[in-house]
Amino acid sequence: MALFGCIRLASRSFLLQSSKLRGSAMGLARAKTGEIPEFVRGISHLLQSNYNELYNFKLCQSYLQAIFLSTSRAFHATAPLSSIEKDYYEILGVPRDASQDDIKTAFLTLAKKYHPDTNSSQSGKRRFQEIRDAYEILRDPSNRTQYDKRFTGEEEMRYTADDTGEFHSRTYRDPFTRSHKAGQNHFSDQFYKIFAEVFDDARSTYADDLEVVVKLPFAAAVNGAKVEVSFAAKVLCDSCDGRGYSVNVKRYVCPNCNGLGKVTIFPFTTTCDLCKGSGRIIKDFCLVCKGVGVIDGMRTVNVEIPAGVDSGNTIRVADAGNSGRQGVNLGNLILKLEVEKDPVFVRDGSDIYVDARISFTQAILGGTVDVPTLSGKTQLRIPKGVQPGQHVILRGKGLPRGPKEARYLDCGDQYVHFRVHFPSSVNERQRAILEEFALEEATKENNEFAVDNWWQQLVSHLTDPKVVMLGVAIVVLLNLVLGKTTS
């Protein structure tokens, strides 16, 4: 019931999208051949992905015919005959006479742009899959030659349907192809979006990627290193070489296509998905891998770790992940780095921090001290009168900067914090010197306090109310005396 419900959901979208086509009230009077089979593709994928439920075939066929008859009795179409699924040259953006170097360059550029690590959208994943499929075909000369031979011109097709729902056609075409020529993909794209959501439209030709955590010493993160990484992964079965069955296994007639290698949903014919077009199936699978073609195993790779990496960074190693059965490409290996802490240096991005212990006499008088750096010890001058916690900066003595950091220098900075050490005990001579020093400091402070105290007393007297009133009286008296004298 769930299977039939998915088909009903897709058919409703089919009717809604078909109304957007020009030239027909219902959208199917003049639809293009590359657009109509997209709906059939969804039905076929649904059936073939669950071939143990073939009893649904007649039901789906009748349902499909009912949808077609409810929209239009006849339609006219023009599209490539016997065309392959996609124009791989167009996908990679290269001409048909492109060299292998041009094809490889185009693939690397597009793969970097649409890789799931940088583009996590569903459309990006589909685009990346198309790019990989195109490159797998075009990079091999023999496959490319066969591909070019299968790419043909256009021929007109006409279909009619009588009231009984029986289709007749002069020419047949693979219903599981998509047209990418200008002006022929509006209807097709609408169907592609519908079934991509309903059926997830994902038949990956690549095995799963594998993520492994790698712990690095601090020195390896600073200078870079070549490390050997061993990890559990899916590997090809040694017993069957990844086929899933032995070489001399008995093959039986495929019940889905009756040995023909093709199945037909009128008026369309496509390769049988159960036997992959061979007309034969295998029932006696490999006992070691249970027909899967892969088993649990171990894999070891050597990886170059660049200088300056930090915890949380990832390194992608192509074709080093899980294996798939024969004919499936290797997945990628994703290394997630964890950098161990260092007992001396504290790291913050590309900058590092270190403490320098100095005596209180060095803090007062100045001097030099040896401090550790990433390239070894160096002698650092201590400023006179340095305070505890004060720091100096050694420019360019940090780690190599990452690609996203500001690049005033290729490396970060080293911050040296001064930690002043005070002795817990002193001898008699040192005590006498310190007491004399303390006495001088106390006398100096008292003198400074006496000066400050005299000034404070003067200010307080001047601001006293009685003193203020006395001053005012004196000023008035002086004015009177001076006035009489002048008169």
What average pLDDT score do residues 260-288 get? 86
Average pLDDT value over all residues in the chain: 74
* Per-residue model confidence (pLDDT) at position 212: 96
Determine the straight-line distance between the first and last CA of the chain, rounded to whole angstroms.
127
Comparing 164 with 403, which gets the higher pLDDT? 403
**pLDDT band per the 50, 70, 90 thresholds, residue 447:** low
Residue 269 lies in a domain: no
**pLDDT band per the 50, 70, 90 thresholds, residue 74:** very low
What average pLDDT score do residues 339-343 get? 95
Instruction: Decide which of 379, 396, 421 is a domain's last residue.
Output: 421
CA-closest candidate to residue 39, choices 25, 51, 27: 27
In the predicted structure, residue 27 carries a pLDDT above the cut 90: no
Domains: count for the chain: 4
What average pLDDT score do residues 127-143 get? 86
* Per-residue model confidence (pLDDT) at position 44: 46
In the predicted structure, residue 19 carries a pLDDT above the cut 80: no
Strand ranges (DSSP E) for 209-326?
210-216, 225-236, 251-253, 262-265, 268-271, 280-282, 294-305, 314-317
Q: Decide: 170 and 157 in contact? Cβ < 8 Å.
A: yes
Specify whether 325 is located in the same domain as 380.
no
* Per-residue model confidence (pLDDT) at position 456: 63
In the predicted structure, residue 164 carries a pLDDT above the cut 80: no
Residue 261 lies in a domain: no
**pLDDT band per the 50, 70, 90 thresholds, residue 372:** very high
CATH number for the domain that contains residue 153: 1.10.287.110
* Per-residue model confidence (pLDDT) at position 160: 39
What average pLDDT score do residues 381-391 get? 92
**Residue keyed to tokens 């299977």:** 3
Specify whether 157 is located in the same domain as 238.
no
Residue 204 lies in a domain: no
In the predicted structure, residue 393 carries a pLDDT above the cut 60: yes
* Per-residue model confidence (pLDDT) at position 246: 85
Residue 243's alpha-carbon distances to 237, 239, 255, 271, 277, in angstroms, are 8, 9, 21, 20, 17
Q: pLDDT tens, 275-299?
A: 888 898 988 889 999 889 999 999 9
Structural domain harbouring 97: 2-199
Comparing 39 with 134, which gets the higher pLDDT? 134
The alpha carbon of 106 is separated from its chain's Cα centroid by a whole number of angstroms, namely 20
Specify whether 79 is located in the same domain as 171.
yes
Instruction: Decide which of 404, 421, 438 is a domain's last residue.
Output: 421
The alpha carbon of 259 is separated from its chain's Cα centroid by a whole number of angstroms, namely 45
pTM metric for this prediction: 0.49
Specify whether 397 is located in the same domain as 456.
no
In the predicted structure, residue 56 carries a pLDDT above the cut 60: no
CA-closest candidate to residue 202, choices 125, 274, 107, 87: 125
Specify whether 295 is located in the same domain as 412.
no
